[in-house]
Amino acid sequence: MNKERYHNKKVFVTKIFTFDSAHRLDDYIGKCANLHGHTYKLEVEVKGRTDHRGIVIDFTDLKKIVNEQIIAKYDHQFLNDHMPFNTTAENMVVFFFEIIDTYLNKLDDAQNITLQRCRLWETPTCYAEITREEFDRESE
């Protein structure tokens, strides 16, 4: 078996997180203008080359970033009190992408890892998503 065959391959890695929060939408006519809550599911996908062990990113590193920078701050919170924008799934997923991207770039192996996509599920059938391509395009 040629172990080298599995080194230095580009691989996508995804970790999923959940948190519960309440919010209400501003400038909105409908039920969501009222206080309500969700169990959010946040999917975080990175891409990188496998190292000599076959690892792109240690799941523990990704978990630490998301838990410290997102879950610890927004779980069981009223989001409108903590976010400087209307708390739509669309705004939140861009905000989370920006946070995760900033902290991923501080990792020792940052040159090997790129945040590719964040998907924020607001309900089991509804999500908002932003990709690296769209995030970079909007930043230009």
Q: What percent of the chain has pLDDT over 90?
A: 82
pLDDT at 107 over 90: no
**Is 82 annotated as a binding-site member?**
no
Active centre residues (catalytic): 32, 76, 122
**Quick one: which H or E segment has residue 40?**
strand 36-49
**Is 38 annotated as a binding-site member?**
yes
pLDDT at 89 over 80: yes
pLDDT at 115 over 70: yes
Give domain limits for the chain: 3-139
**Is 23 annotated as a binding-site member?**
yes
Average pLDDT over residues 100-125: 92
- Rg of the Cα trace of the chain? 17
- Rama region for 54: left / alpha / beta (φ>0; ψ in -120 to 50; rest): left
In CATH, 3-139 is 3.30.479.10 = yes
Residue 44 makes CB contacts below 8 A (sequence gap 6+) with: 14, 15, 16, 17, 62, 66, 100, 115, 117, 118
Question: What single DSSP character describes residue 9?
Answer: -
- Mean pLDDT value across the chain: 93
Q: Phi first, then psi: what are they for 31, rounded to 5°?
A: -55, -35
